[in-house]
Structure 1
Amino acid sequence: MTKNNHNQWVSWNENIQHNYNKRFEIKTEEQFSEVIKNAENVRYYGSKQSSSDISAGTDTLINIDNYNKILETNTALKQVTVQSGMKLKELLEYVESQNWCIPCLPDINTVTIGGALATGTHGTSGNLLASYVVRCRLIIADGSIKTIEDTHEFMDALRVSLGVLGAFSTITFQCVENYTLHIKEGPERDKLWLNKLNSYLNQNDFLRILWLPHTDIGYVIKGNKIDPSQEVVEDLGPSYLKNRRKVSKILYKYSHVIPWSTYFANKILHYWFFRSKKEHKGSLYQATVTKSRGSTLELAEWTVALDVFPKVFEELKAAINSFKNKSFVHIPMDIRFINQDNSWLSYAYNNSTTVTMGCVSRNAASADSYEAFETIENIFLKYGGRPHWGKRFIAKDTELSKVYPKWNDFKELRKKMDPTNKFLNSYLSRLFGEKSPRNDS
């Protein structure tokens, strides 16, 4: 175990910084447990890619990047047990090597498993990643370790818990047999895809929509399971499509200074990169878009029940298409879908189907002045929307208690499991309506 003293922690986007007194690089469960036991105030982190301030801001920090081993594979049950610091990419590659998959495909694969679970990471047309956890070992505030099975009374509270009930040590995932998707992509007018949303969800195994603000166009990605031997004539579009992110970076370079320039940048990006129709096939991981991030960016994401999404969308579209404000949004806004979930702090708790909508700022350094984040948050909260725990939002205890039915139950359980607020930083203290911890750097 390596110990570092008196340094500064900086997020991947470089816009969140905190001082700390002690930082530990751990490789074993015993080291993980020992540091938590002896710390007065502690957080743990891996890739540092969260846009919300949940990973640091405490006197003691634990880096779990090297706590990343595959511990056990149960071939008969299709289960794999890993340490919580493993990157999602490594887990997915290993699972696929067994001809299995975890049918939840998040947008990026460089996050740690522990962080992905704690913040409710999800894909589309399926469940949260946390839904596939059948067992875990949890290090609680006194340093002791509890094994929690999926039948445990607190598992639904633990699955999505922001790391405030304890630290995930090892996690056992339930996998399924791998499958092949036939993917078809192409642009559709907003009136078309919005009116057909329910039928698209019913008729397809995979659905994702990249909405293009200021263009009246959504880029619709539909997929269905097929026999792996079925032939598909592949068409990946023009080769220049791979340059979209590079061109976006150039076009949005000064959009924080001249917000309305985003309107024209989006028109250009739509014309060059979102008019092609594409068709291909592959396994779940091969055919869809999980990837690493090539450059820093800032994200907000909100969720709302499917039955109210059309109202939310029309109001949101009117707000960000208006030249009366500065809420111009970089493209694309990512629209995905989650099945009903029982996790207390899940975005899909108590909803039959939930729609998620992401909002991105390509200029991470100027994200605090990106007016669209606040505009979108206000609209979603109006309709009972819930924020993604790992992304940007302003809402705190008062607002969250209105949109999460189990919010107060979770707060009571958190206080019971961590009576000294060992796992809270200043951001999380405000989130749960608690007094700030000792370290407020």
Structure 2
Amino acid sequence: MKQKKENTWVSWNENLKYNYDKLYKIKSEEELREVIATNDKIRFFGSKQSSSDIAAGTDSLIDMTGYNKIVSYDDDEKTITVQSGLILGELLEAIEAVGWCIPCLPDINTITIGGALATGTHGTSGKLLCEYMTECTLVLADGSIKKITDKDELMDAVRVSLGMLGVMSTITFKCETEYTLHVKERPESDSEWLPKIKERLKTHDFLRILWLPHTDKGYVITGDKIDPNKEVIENMGPSYLKHRRTASKILYKYTHVFPWITAIANKLLYRGFFNSKKEHKGSLYQATVTKSRGSTLELAEWTIALDKFPQVFEELKTEINKWSNKSFIHIPMDVRFVQKDNSWLSYAYQQDTVTMGCVSRNAATADTYEAFKSVEKVFLKHGGRPHWGKRFEAKDAQLSKIYPKWEAFKELRRELDPTNKFLNPYLAKLVNEKSKMNARKVIA
């Protein structure tokens, strides 16, 4: 266990910087327990890829990335138990190697398991990743271990907790037999894809829509389970499609100075990179997951009940198409679908949900990106819920109105962490908890 002093913690996109005194790189559960028990304030981090300010801001920090072993497999139950610092991509490769899958995968595989669970990471056309967790061990504020199974009422509170109840140590996931998807991708006008959402959710095993603001177009991706031996004539589109990120970086370079350039850039990107049809097959992991981020960016994401989405979409579209404001949004806006669950802080708590992402490809200037404010305003108006690992301004007063179990969660948090050990300044404001903080944020 190594410890460093007088250093600076920096997030992946370099938007968040904090000075700290002690950094612990743990390798075992015993080390994790000891570090937590002997520090008054502490936070923990993995790949630092969250856009929200949840990972640092305390004098003591734990680097979880060395706590990354696969603990065991249960062939009869199709379960795998891992340490929480394991990178998601390594988990997915491990279960795929034995012919298994987790039916709902996020868009990125470079985050840690613990971070993915704490922030409610999800994919599309299934449940949140945390819903496939059947058991976990949680290190509490006093350093003790609490084992929780999916038979315990507490599990619904623990599945998504932003690391405010304790630190995830080991996690067991329930897997399914691996399957093959036949994936088709094509552009459609907004008037075509929007009315077909419910129908497509019933008829396809996988549905994702990349909406292209200022173009009146969406890029629809559907997937259907097929026999893995079935032949599919693959069409991956023109070879230049692989350069979309580079083209985006160039076209959006000065949009923070001249926001209206975004509308022109979006039209060019649509014609160049979203105007062709594609077709291929592969496992869920192979066929649908973006393996990493190509460059730093800033993200916001909001969710809304499936039945409300058409109305919210039209209102948002009208708002951002007004040239009187500066809400020109970089493409694409990722539209995905999450099935209802009972996890207290899940975006899909007791409702089938549509999620809509908003991206700024200029991470350094994201604080002046007006689109984040416009999207939040529209979604909050209709009871939308923010993604915990991404950007949003809502705090306790708004969150208590949109999460039915918000007050119950806060009460449980105080019970499990009476000294607010796991709160940093950002989280303290989020739950309206007055707590002495010594965060030393680095001002650029």
On whether the aligned pair clears a TM of 0.5, the verdict is yes
How far residue 152 of structure 1 moved from its aligned partner, in angstroms, is 1.0
| 1:440 alignment counterpart | 439
Unaligned runs of 5+ in 2: none
Match of 2:117 in 1: 117
8 Å CA contact 2:420, 2:435 repeated in 1 = no
Amino acid at match of 1:258: F
Alignment of 1:29-108 (within 5 A): 29-108=29-108
What secondary structure sits across from 1:39 in the alignment?
coil
Residue type matched to 2:7 in 1? N
Please list the CA deviations of residues 192-214 of structure 1 after superposition, one character each: whole Å capped at 9, or x if unmatched. Answer: 10011111111111000000000
Deviation at 1:97, TM superposition (A): 0.2
**In the aligned structure 1, how far is the partner of 2:290 from the partner of 2:44?**
24
Q: Measure, in 1, the Cα distance between the counterparts of 2:70 and 2:196.
A: 43
Matched, 1:370 2:369: yes
Q: Work out whether residues 109 and 289 of structure 2, in 8 Å CA contact, stay in contact via their aligned partners in 1.
A: no
**Match in the other structure for 1:404:** 403
SS at 2:200's partner residue?
helix
1:208 has 2:208 as partner:
yes
TM-superposed CA distance for 1:119, in Å, is 0.2
How many Å apart are 1:289 and its aligned residue?
2.8
**How far is the alpha carbon of 1:428 from its aligned partner?**
0.1
Tell me what 1:222 maps to: 222
Q: How many angstroms apart in 2 are the aligned matches of 1:8 and 1:205?
A: 45
Amino acid at match of 2:419: T
Distance (whole Å) between structure 2 residues aligned to residue 436 and residue 107 of structure 1: 35
Per the alignment, residue 185 of structure 2 pairs with 185
SS of 1:196's equivalent in the other structure is: helix
What amino acid maps onto 1:51 in structure 2? S
Tell me if 1:174 matches 2:174: yes
Q: Alpha-carbon deviation of 1:437?
A: 3.3
Asked if 1:159 corresponds to 2:130, the answer is no
Structure 1 residues 49-74: Cα deviation after superposition (integer angstroms, max 9, x where no partner): 00000000011100011100001111
Aligned partners of 1:125 and 1:206 also within 8 Å:
yes
Name 1:425's counterpart in structure 2: 424
Mapped to 1, the partners of 2:188 and 2:75 lie a distance apart of: 43
Note the alpha carbon deviations across 1:140-168, whole angstroms, 9 max, x for none: 00000111111112000000000000000
Corresponding letter in the other structure for 1:257: V
- How far 1:19 sits from its partner (Å)? 1.1
What residue in structure 1 maps to residue 387 of structure 2?
388
Q: Which amino acid aligns with 1:139?
A: V
What SS is found at the alignment partner of 1:12? coil
2-structure distance, mates of 1:13, 1:419: 33
SS for the counterpart of 1:181 is strand
Q: Which residue of 1 aligns with 2:414?
A: 415
Once the two structures are TM-superposed, the CA of residue 16 in structure 1 deviates from its matched residue by 0.4
Q: How far off its partner does 1:231 sit?
A: 1.0
Q: Give 1:290 deviation, angstroms.
A: 2.8
How far apart are residue 311 of structure 1 and its match?
Answer: 0.6
CA distance in 1, matches of 2:107, 2:82: 21
| Residue 9 (structure 2) aligns with | 9
The letter for the 2-side match of 1:400 is: L
SS of corresponding position for 1:94: helix
How many angstroms does 1:291 deviate by? 1.3
Contact 1:41 1:439 in 2 (8 A): no
Q: Does 1:360 align with 2:352?
A: no
Letter in 2 for 1:370: Y
Q: Return structure 1 stretches of 4+ with deviation > 6 angstroms.
A: none
Give the whole-Å Cα distance in 1 for the aligned partners of 2:291 and 2:366: 22
Asked if the contact 2:214/2:263 (under 8 Å) is kept, the reply is yes
What's the CA shift for 1:436? 3.5
**Greater Cα offset, 217-226 or 145-154:** 145-154
CA shift digits 1:286-308 (9 cap, x unpaired): 11133111110000000000100
2:235 aligns with: 235
* Cα deviations by residue, 1:64-111 (Å, 9 ceiling, x for unpaired): 111000011111111100000000000000010010001111011000
Residue deviations 1:340-399, cap 9 Å, x none? 111000000010x10000000000000000000000000000000000000000000000
**Paired residues, number:** 440
SS in 1 for 2:358: strand
User: Is the CA contact 1:430–1:436 (under 8 Å) kept in the aligned structure 2?
Assistant: no
| Structure 1, gaps ≥5 residues long | none
Opposite residue 39 of structure 1, the aligned amino acid is: N
| Alignment check: 8 A CA contact 1:166 1:423 kept | yes
Q: How far apart, in 2, do the equivalents of 1:19 and 1:425 lie?
A: 13
Kindly report the root-mean-square deviation, in angstroms, between the aligned alpha carbons of the 2 structures.
0.6
1:274-423 equivalent positions in 2, closer than 5 A: 274-351=274-351, 353-423=352-422
DSSP 3-state at the match of 2:122? coil
Give the fraction of aligned pairs with identical amino acids, expressed as a percent.
Answer: 67
Distance 2:415 2:438 in 1: 21
Name the CA distance, whole Å, in 1 between partners of 2:354 and 2:437. 38
> Does the 8 Å CA contact 2:297/2:359 hold for their aligned counterparts?
yes
Output the amino acid matched with 1:410: F
Query: SS in structure 1 opposite 2:44?
Result: strand
1:197 counterpart = 2:197: yes
Residue 131 of structure 1 aligns to a residue whose secondary structure is: helix
The offset of 1:321, in angstroms, is 1.3
Structure 2 match to 1:147: 147
Where 2:6 maps in the other structure, the secondary structure is strand
